[in-house]
Amino acid sequence: MAATIKDVASYAGFSIATVSRAINAPHTVSPIALEKVRAAIEVLQFRPNALGRQLRTERTGLIGVILPTLANPVFAESLQGIDDEASEAGYRLVLMTTQYDAVRERRAIETLREQRVDGVIMTVTDGNSNPLLDELEADSMPYVLAHNDTACRPSISVNNRRAARDGVRLLISQGHRNILMLAGSLAASDRARQRHLGYCDAMLEANLEPRAAIEVDFNTDRLATDTLERLTVGPDHPTALFCSNDLLAMMVMRGLRAAHFEVPRDMSILGFDGLPMGELLSPTLASICAPNRAIGAQAWQHLLAQIEAHLPTAENTGTDLFKYPRRGLTLQHVIRIGATIAPLQRTRDAAADMTDQSEPLKISPRGR
């Protein structure tokens, strides 16, 4: 007769619940207990039935990950951080993307719940007021937000408002006063909204008038003609741009080159995210850097703590232990001082010199 899990528990000297956790979530038991259980399994030649184990423990070893897109390396970096940690713990990831669409968010969450994932890590359009998250909490589904900057949900992020304020302060310290912000859709990203608030904070602090963000489609790969004209035509064009992410900053730099603007001589550029590829550009991209891989890794650690608290043991059913932490964790940002930012006076002097020496080229931004 084939050995049962009860036989393994008796041989190893542990409860059935401990043996179950050693099989399904080995990271949750001590090394000594794990060694004894594995030895008992080997001696008794116990071969657990995967489906039966899944039904008994209600654990699948699957983790859902919902991200806006993988086209932005920020989310790919975070995904790598999640996968490194989850794989080591014996979990597998099920990935879905939403393209910043709230309808697709709901569909993704419903799909993952149908797959009976043990928990979800996700970046959503709005981390504060979100009925989908309220539903997950009501059903005691473990989840953690990554990049959503909120104090009322389990979340891992940087302080987007403070980080943006620090970045715009840098532009102001370089003499820039006419500063605009470019962002994706504010309605589709609470991160973009927080970063615009930080821009406004820095401008008001310097007695400057903040302006509405220029919104750009998240899914486009080039600036619209009217947006580019707004940035480059006329004598009152901005001297510095704060872009809500690095990909947008790179897209702006390409558009400015097409308009015969030179960065930072004609315009300074500051991004947000700290993508490594920004350091490969010429000039290197100045950016507010977030620890994107660490955000993913920390999100996994917080999710794992929830899952472990929810695992049944001999002493309880697990259903009464699950508690959602109500405070988000913010990680530290840093500013990468790249070559896309220059003092305002120096850029004006350089432009004047170029205009005097190279009149036929007509590259001065004035009067476009």
- DSSP string for residues in 94-154: EEEE-TT-HHHHHHHHHHHHHTT-SEEEE--S-SSS-HHHHHHHHTT--EEEES---SSSS
Res. 9: pLDDT tops 70: yes
Task: Tell whether 221 and 355 lie within a shared domain.
Answer: yes
For residue 27, what is the domain's CATH number?
1.10.260.40
Query: For the segment 315-352, what is each residue's pLDDT rounded down to a tens digit?
Result: 444 443 334 445 689 999 999 999 999 998 765 555 55
| Helix, strand, coil percentages for the chain (3-state, nearest 5) | 45, 15, 40
Q: Is residue 169 part of a domain?
A: yes
Instruction: Choose between 366 and 120: higher pLDDT.
Output: 120
Domain that holds residue 165: 161-289+334-361
How many CB atoms are located within 10 Å of the residue 94 CB? 16
Task: Tell whether 76 and 138 lie within a shared domain.
Answer: yes
User: How many domains are there within the chain?
Assistant: 3
Q: Is residue 366 part of a domain?
A: no
Task: Tell whether 221 and 321 lie within a shared domain.
Answer: no
Please give the mean pLDDT across all residues of the chain. 86
Contact at 8 Å (CB) between 14 and 36? Answer: yes
Task: Tell whether 139 and 285 lie within a shared domain.
Answer: no
CB-based burial, 187-209: b 16+ in 10 Å, e otherwise = ebbbbbbbbbebbbbbbeebebe
Give percent of the chain above pLDDT 90: 60
pLDDT at 207: 98
Task: Tell whether 35 and 75 lie within a shared domain.
Answer: no
> Any idea which of 8-17, 20-29, 142-151, 314-323 has the lowest mean pLDDT?
314-323
Contact at 8 Å (CB) between 345 and 174? Answer: no
Task: Tell whether 326 and 341 lie within a shared domain.
Answer: no
Q: Is residue 241 part of a domain?
A: yes
Task: Tell whether 249 and 341 lie within a shared domain.
Answer: yes
Q: Is residue 316 part of a domain?
A: yes
Contact at 8 Å (CB) between 27 and 89? Answer: yes
Task: Tell whether 267 and 302 lie within a shared domain.
Answer: no
The two structure tokens encoding residue 357 = 């020496």
Task: Tell whether 51 and 67 lie within a shared domain.
Answer: no
Q: Is residue 151 part of a domain?
A: yes
Task: Tell whether 266 and 236 lie within a shared domain.
Answer: yes
Q: Is residue 368 part of a domain?
A: no
Query: For the segment 54-81, what is each residue's pLDDT rounded down to a tens digit?
Result: 444 568 899 999 999 999 999 999 999 9
Task: Tell whether 22 and 168 lie within a shared domain.
Answer: no
- Amino acid sitting at position 130: N
Task: Tell whether 47 and 66 lie within a shared domain.
Answer: no
For residue 133, what is the domain's CATH number?
3.40.50.2300
CB-based burial, 223-240: b 16+ in 10 Å, e otherwise = beeebbeebbeeeebbbb
